Structure 1
Amino acid sequence: MRWQDVEPLPDLNGGISAILASADALKGAWEDWLEHIDEQEFRRTRRRSLRRHAIETGIIERLYDVDWGVTLALVAEGLTQEAAAREGGISDDTLAVIRSQYDALEFLADAARGGRDLSVHFVRELHQAITRRQLTYGATDTLGRVFEAPMRHGEWNRHPNHVVRPDGTLLEYTPPEHVQAQMDQLIAIYQKTEAAHPITRAAWLHHRFIRIHPFEDGNGRVARALTLLVLLRDNYAPLVVDRSQRARYIDALDQANAGDLAPLIRLFARLEISALRFELEAPSVLRETAGGAAEVARAHADRLRLNLVAKDSAGRSGPAVRLAGSLQTKVAHYLRKQGDALRDAFATIAPETVVHVHHAEPPSQRSLLHRDRFRAMANSAGFRPNLNEGVWWATLYMEIVGYALHFHTAIIKAGPPNTGALVFTVSAAVSPPGEIESNDLPVPVWACDPTPDDSVTLVFSDAPDARWPEITEVIDQVLTAAVDQLGQQLG
């Protein structure tokens, strides 16, 4: 695939309007929530978001690796060796690179707040800031030998660059002699896209910058930072492409290379929804507070006071409950169909196979059961649950020749009250003989906890049918893996 001139934002027919509307609805809830917190609390939340981006952007590039526990500590407590040491530690060199990336994001956030225009000079400044503590990068000479080349901060690439796509074809980036002209053209076209949705605009800028690939190294990190600049200018939260999204992100970029930008826009919209949800969620008070029991108590009191004053002035709770109920009906029906299909598939070897589907939803008392389990599912999926009014849960239980398959789904309120945010997530396990429990909602030893990839963030304004394909995709993906695990256990 030969390099191309920067092309204008294309007409899009990829069904992106629904997911963009979901992001905007959650943004409205987030902006209402901001009215109830002071500037200091907002800045603390924003710093956590930027720390998360600063860590994950280098992991995406395989620049370093950071344990998930260390990541959570650094995000919550700050980019210090003391915070990292409590979860296993991090090297000084890695922490220095992460800090420089974080400082670059602070520089970018200040530029967004100040209304600074995007320019070629700004892009070069941003590259300098992001790569400041990176002295070398991995390069390949004409004989195919890998070596460490010196990093030239803020300077355009001097050598032709290309990458091999998954199908084996060669993707050419802009030749060095055309980089300056292409960057000038990129900025000129970007300035004419103000009428486009900010997430669409950010995805276009991100991809077209990647196709130019103006620097010898750090292009991905700069592209993801530029995405933040576009979103912050329009008062969105800073989205994060984290390690769990790497494969989808690369696939979406490859589809954009082939001419279809819609998958990248949809991915960025989902990540923006997650980013807004992240900023809506209060962090662990214990991690944020260093002054003993009384100060922790005061912090919790402040948090609870905020929850009480955040009235449902926009009327989000009712639509969110109706959305959850509608989706719960569809999930229960879908699980019954899947259970029947599984029983039929195993009937030839185990006619006595038993399949049950159970479910509950608020205001039923059964929706309030098993909070520890749903809290664990939420934590594994990367969000803070609001379990006070119950959970819309459904479980598929299958018993076959002494083994049991447990597959759970849950629709859980997320963030502070009355935001209208929900998360659908799943979890699965296989219990060996002797560990089967046959009550209505079995408690297995978990073998497959959910990840952020195994969840779908929903908002009160979503149409059930519009989000249903994402939910079935998550169900099918995890249930298939669980059935495969069961089959291997059976021998």
Structure 2
Amino acid sequence: MREPKLILGPDLVKLVAEIDEFKGRWEALKTLSPDRLSALRRVATIESVGSSTRIEGAKLSDIEVEDLLSRAISVQSFKTRDEQEVAGYAEAMDLVFEVYTDMRLTENHIRQLHQTLLRHSEKDSRHRGAYKTLPNNVVALDAEGREIGVIFETASPFDTPREMEQLVSWTRKALDEESLHPLLVIAVFVVTFLAIHPFQDGNGRLSRVLTTLLLLRLGYAYVPYASLERVIEENKDLYYKALRRTQTTLKKDVPDWEPWIGFFLRCLKKQKDGLAARLERERAGQGSESELPELSLQVIKALKAKERLTIAQLAEITGANRNTLKVRLRELVTTGRIRQHGRARATWYSL
């Protein structure tokens, strides 16, 4: 892999500085109680899992994602491909959050995360954690799902191991030697990884898991509390345009890195701006109900109408899974939005 020649304009330099300034202030900013931070992190995780899988075509809403994950411990298999992808993405993210300090960027760890990502995907069992053996060019489809042309030609199965070895080696060297700002190294890694498309399936989702891993390892500790995947989903068309504009130049003598790096940095800015706004509202005692999960909003609405309700009554009103409902009720009690009365079967709730 050739050493990227990056010349940033003043706007992008300003973005890098702004993101790093937030990174430096994070410890002072996170003055919320552990319970509030935990609730914030859970909402961000649900958003990340839902958004990242929907970018690739899944249809589950955030409420459906949350309901599925609340049942995941007791569920042995998942009925649909959407459910399989959601469960796998959640497990891959959990693994990153738990062990990122010990998970260096290596090909073995990349394959391990891919295996976790596709753990529940029945049709992918043959190639979990293994580089592709068949071409997987990015193609255009017609309204009936038939292939009508190649949009982008990815690395061949033969070239993939060599290109992945070079990419991982360059990324680690660039980070260790600080030859480029770490955010730029991550951006170059991601766009090149997706150009290689090393696995038969799951490359887009894995690229976002790896982005989170690298950001955490490089000290961007606020990342679990705000969903970068949600920002990308909200700008999905721009995401694909930026990728293609840079990827189509990668084999030229001077690749055009700016479209992708600009998009990536602007997404990171939106991620940290959204988190800063949430923290400000929380600190001001104005924790906006609009930031709550949909089920929590339904619970508050029901209690405004009825004044006191049991879990059974709330489950009937909302139609929610009882395990998910218990999680939402516990969060609402912990954050002081509702009160719990009684114990066991005699428990009821009020505002």
TM-score range, shorter-chain basis?
0.5 to 0.7
Q: Does the alignment pair 1:174 with 2:174?
A: no
Which residue of 2 is the match for residue 227 of structure 1? 211
Residue 387 of structure 1 aligns with which residue?
none
Tell me which residue corresponds to 2:329.
290
Identity among equivalent pairs (%)? 24
Question: Which residue among 8, 18, 23 is the counterpart of 1:22?
Answer: 18
State the 1:208 CA deviation.
1.1
Any idea what the Cα deviations from partners look like across 1:160-211, whole Å, max 9, x if unmatched? 3323589x77632222122222211111100122223332121111011112
Distance 1:151 1:246 in 2: 30
Cα pair 2:137 2:150 within 8 Å, conserved: no
Are the structure 2 counterparts of residues 119 and 17 from structure 1 closer, same or farther at C-alpha, using a change threshold of 3 Å? same
The answer for the alignment partner of 1:111 in structure 2 is 99
**Displacement after TM superposition at 1:228 (Å):** 1.0
Aligned to 1:256: 246
Equivalent position SS for 1:176: coil
Deviation at 1:97, TM superposition (A): 2.4
- TM-fit CA distance, 1:213: 1.2
Aligned to 1:53: 48
Distance in 1 between residues matched to 2:123 and 2:262, nearest whole Å: 34
Letter in 1 for 2:32: I
8 Å CA contact retained: 1:162, 1:172: yes
The Cα shift of 1:224 comes to: 1.4
The alpha-carbon distance between structure 1 residues 78 and 161, as it changes in their structure 2 partners (threshold 3 A), is closer
Judged with a 3 Å threshold, the aligned counterparts in structure 2 of structure 1 residues 26 and 297 are, in CA distance, closer, same or farther, namely: closer
* 1:438-491 alpha-carbon deviations (Å, 9 max, x no partner): xxxxxxxxxxxxxxxxxxxxxxxxxxxxxxxxxxxxxxxxxxxxxxxxxxxxxx
Q: Provide the residue aligned with 2:5 in structure 1.
A: 10
Letter in 2 for 1:65: K
Q: Note if contact 2:36-2:335 (Cα within 8 Å) is conserved in structure 1.
A: no
Paired with 1:10 and 1:165, the residues of 2 have a C-alpha distance of 31
Q: Does 1:33 align with 2:14?
A: no
Distance (whole Å) between structure 2 residues aligned to residue 116 and residue 107 of structure 1: 10
- Deviation of residue 298 (structure 1)? 2.9
Whether contact under 8 Å (2:140, 2:150) holds in the other structure is yes
Change (3 A) 1:92 1:279: farther
Is the Cα contact below 8 Å between 1:253 and 1:264 reproduced in 2?
yes
1:126 matched to 2:113: yes
Cα deviation, residue 94, structure 1: 2.6
Q: Assess, with a 3 A threshold, how the Cα gap between structure 1 residues 7 and 222 changes in structure 2: closer, same or farther.
A: farther
Q: Could you give the per-residue CA deviations for residues 113-164 of structure 1, whole angstroms, max 9, x where no partner exists? A: x242110000100110111111226xxxxxxxxxxxx651011111233235
Residue identity opposite 1:157 in structure 2: K
TM-score (norm 2): 0.66
Query: How far apart are residue 289 of structure 1 and its match?
Result: 4.9
Q: Check conservation: 1:49, 1:279, Cα contact below 8 A.
A: no
Higher mean C-alpha deviation, range 223-232 or range 40-49: 40-49
Q: Which amino acid aligns with 1:161?
A: N
Deviations 1:354-411 (A, max 9, x none): xxxxxxxxxxxxxxxxxxxxxxxxxxxxxxxxxxxxxxxxxxxxxxxxxxxxxxxxxx
2:347 equivalent in structure 1? none
Deviation digits for residues 266-312 of structure 1 (CA, Å, limit 9, x no counterpart): 2222222232244442543956751599x3773589xxxxxxxxxxx
Alpha carbons 1:52, 1:71 under 8 Å: kept: yes
Written as runs of structure 1 = structure 2, the 5 A alignment for 1:371-386 is: none
Post-superposition offset of 1:102: 0.7
Change in Cα spacing, 1:41 to 1:13, as seen in structure 2 (3 Å) is: same
- Measured in 2, the distance between the counterparts of 1:38 and 1:186 equals 41
Distance 1:231 1:129, change over 3 A: same
Which has more radius of gyration?
1
What SS does structure 1 have at the residue aligned with 2:69? coil
1:71 pairs, out of 62, 71, 89, with 62
Equivalent in the alignment of 1:205:
189
User: Is the contact between residue 46 and residue 279 of structure 1 (CA under 8 Å) also seen in structure 2?
Assistant: no
Q: Structure 1 pair 296/226, CA: closer, same or farther in 2 (3 Å)? A: closer
What amino acid is aligned across from residue 71 of structure 1 in structure 2?
A: D
Q: Which has the higher strand share?
A: 1
- The alignment's TM-score, normalised by the length of structure 1, stands at 0.48
Distance 1:298 1:58, change over 3 A: closer
Residues of 1 paired with 2:201 and 2:331: CA distance?
45
Q: Structure 1: state its 5+ residue gaps.
A: 1-5, 83-89, 138-149, 302-491
**Aligned equivalents of 1:173, 1:92: Cα separation in 2:** 28
Question: Aligned-pair distance for 1:219?
Answer: 1.0
Give unpaired runs (5+ residues) of structure 2: 73-77, 142-148, 250-254, 283-290, 298-326, 340-351
Aligned mates of 2:80, 2:153 — CA distance in 1: 36
2:336 partner letter: R
2:89 alignment counterpart: 101
Contact residue 92 and residue 116 of structure 2 kept, 8 A: yes
Instruction: Tell me the equivalent position of 1:273.
Output: 269
- Aligned partner of 1:329 in structure 2 is none
Tell me which amino acid in the other structure corresponds to 2:165.
Answer: D
Q: Distance in 1 between the 2:203 and 2:96 partners?
A: 16
Separation in 2 of the partners of 1:216 and 1:292? 40
Q: What's the CA shift for 1:24?
A: 2.4
- Is 1:190 the counterpart of 2:171 in the alignment? yes
Q: Is the 8 A contact 1:108 1:229 kept in 2?
A: yes
- Number of equivalent positions: 268
Task: Map 1:288-437 onto structure 2 (within 5 A).
Answer: 289-290=328-329, 295=333, 298=336
RMSD between aligned residues: 3.3
**Post-superposition CA distance 1:237-265 (Å, at most 9, x none):** 15225432111111111121122222222
